[in-house]
Amino acid sequence: MISIIIPAYNEGARIGATLDKILAYLAQRGWGDAEIIVVNDGSYDNTVEIVRECAAQNPGVRLLENPGNRGKGYSVRNGMLHAAGETLLFSDADLSSPIEEASKLFAAIAAGSDIALGSRWLQSELQTQKQPLYRQLLGRVFNLLLRMILGLRFKDTQCGFKAFTRRSAQMIFPRQQIERWGFDPELLFLARKFGFRVTEVPVAWAHREGTRINPLRDGIRMFGEILKIRWNALSGKYATAER
């Protein structure tokens, strides 16, 4: 069984089309028992109404509510810990990577990986719409810091398109501490800590306008979260599941 988790904050303009595309993909693959979990992160637009209307017509769709606005990391963790699938994927609500690319991640899982990462940079020619240059540069700096501080040697840790086996998800997500944009490196740090096999998979990807990341403010915050991950590891906070 497949679970697809979609974190959503004020996604009313596109969540309906996103759900239609995912439902069509699942139907085309013949995965009638798959579930789609939309995690509402305190939206104040019509996101909830659209998801509820879709869920009323499609029993495989369900809405999960966060206690207010907690961040993307909290939303992904909340969805993962409530999912029933044996393979669990989270995707950004804008489908920057088309949902059809999920088949590549599922194939990596079927081949023996515990975690499959969608990567924008393993084959950058697959990018149909690149990020602005300043965001590419900031991303490269962030990636270098991850290599230096956390020892994570992936081309792309921040693509919002990742798949997990149920076993790896149940080990990693209860230990996750970072609740906002810097949660992806923490997931991969924990994956390495517990010896999971991680495969980076090149996927098609397109930059979408309307991103809510502020490069300066959130960049500083994410650097602080890298240091927090290192401190959590040194202080033993990842030894046992807290959630």
pLDDT 10s digits, 60-114: 999 999 999 999 999 999 999 999 999 999 999 999 999 999 999 999 999 999 9
Give how far Cα 94 sits from Cα of 3, 14, 18, 90, 236, Å.
18, 7, 7, 12, 36
Please report whether residue 242 resides in a domain. no
Give the dihedral of Cα atoms 94, 54, 180, 238; nearest 10 deg. Answer: -120
Of 130, 96, 135, nearest to 215 (Cα)?
135
Amino acid at 47: T
Tokens 């810990």, residue?
A: 81
Please report whether residue 239 resides in a domain. no
Please report whether residue 188 resides in a domain. yes
Q: Which domain holds residue 160?
A: 2-234
Please report whether residue 18 resides in a domain. yes
Please report whether residue 36 resides in a domain. yes
Tell me what pLDDT residue 91 has: 97
Tell me what pLDDT residue 149 has: 86
Please report whether residue 241 resides in a domain. no
Please report whether residue 240 resides in a domain. no
Tell me what pLDDT residue 16 has: 97
CATH number for 189? 3.90.550.10
Instruction: Work out how many domains the chain is built from and give that number.
Output: 1
Please report whether residue 140 resides in a domain. yes
pLDDT 10s digits, 216-232: 676 678 788 889 999 99
pLDDT 10s digits, 171-226: 999 999 999 878 999 999 999 999 999 999 999 978 666 556 666 676 678 788 88
pLDDT 10s digits, 113-167: 999 999 987 766 666 666 666 666 676 777 788 878 888 889 888 888 999 999 9
Please say if the pLDDT value at position 243 is more than 60: no
Please say if the pLDDT value at position 29 is more than 80: yes
Tell me what pLDDT residue 210 has: 58
